[in-house]
Amino acid sequence: MTTNPLVARIEAGTAPRETLATLALEQHRVIPADRRAFLHLAQRRTATPEAADFFEFLAEGEAMAGERLTAFAEACGVDEIRLRTYEPLPGCQAYPAYVAWLALNAEPTDVVTALTSNFAEWGGYCATIAGALRRHYGFAEGACGFFDFFAQPSPELDEKAAAAVGRERANERLVNTYSTMLKHYEAMFWTTLGEVS
């Protein structure tokens, strides 16, 4: 059972379909923004080869997730016109904005540690949503692919993260700050979605 109120409502099948549509629309902004931030981190002068490899792997994952997001959006009734004219919610876009800030200002190795501290929680949310979409909303397999993708553990990603942080000592104080900020912005994303439903 999740402690995230909106994910709990989706899990129970009580969240309206329009909330799912808004989730799809917001993710259509988050995914490409995060991908560009990860590519920038990979190309930073201070990025070690291991850190660059980690961020390139993340960027590839975002591209694959983006391909799967289209089927989810279509299942939610989001068409091309709505996608093009949608005005994003500031509370939902605070997370990718902060990831972009990290890409510009933080040491890549510190960002590796901060990001990975949040992956398990995000993966858990995605697993819960994927199950609920099938059980309560009647979504086909393809429409659940976006969430299935993030719900699956990635040993390769874990290995790349370990290699990236194993070479250099992270600044623990800064990493704690970055991790805390990311968690708060992640919570803000879900809270904002919940308030509009």
Give domain 5-196's CATH number out of 3.40.50.300, 1.10.287.70, 1.10.3720.10, 1.20.910.10: 1.20.910.10
Residues 123, 158 contacting (CB under 8 angstroms): no
Tokens of 17: 């379909």
- To 10 degrees, the CA torsion angle through 108, 69, 146, 194? 90
Query: Which pLDDT value is given to residue 166?
Result: 84
Structure tokens at 85: 């004219």
Q: How confident is the model over 49-76, as pLDDT tens digits?
A: 999 999 999 999 999 999 999 999 999 9
Contact present, 137 and 13 (Cβ < 8 Å): yes
- Chain segment 136-153, per-residue pLDDT in tens: 999 999 999 999 999 998
DSSP state at residue 73: H
CA dist 101 → 5, 36, 128, 151, 164 (Å): 28, 12, 29, 26, 20
- Tens-digit pLDDT profile for residues 37-51: 999 999 999 999 999
Average pLDDT over residues 92-107: 98
State pLDDT tens for residues 86-98.
999 999 999 999 9
CA angle in degrees (0–180, nearest 5) for 13-136-27: 75
End-to-end Cα distance, the chain: 21
Residue 197 in this model has a pLDDT that exceeds 70: no
pTM of the predicted structure, to 2 decimals: 0.94
42 neighbors 55 (Cβ within 8 angstroms) = yes
Are residues 37 and 96 in contact, defined by beta-carbon separation less than 8 angstroms? Answer: yes
**Chain-wide mean pLDDT for the chain?**
95
Rounded CA separation 9/15 (Å) = 5
For residues 193 and 21, the answer to whether their CB atoms sit within 8 Å is no
pLDDT interval class at 30 (50, 70, 90)? very high
DSSP helix/strand/coil, 138:
coil
- 191 CB burial (10 A radius; 0-12, 13-18, 19+): middle
Q: Which residues contact 150 (CB under 8 A, 6 or more apart)?
A: 65, 122, 123, 126
Domain ranges within the chain, ordered by starting residue: 5-196
**Are 62 and 31 contacting, i.e. CB atoms less than 8 angstroms apart?**
yes
pLDDT of residue 169: 74
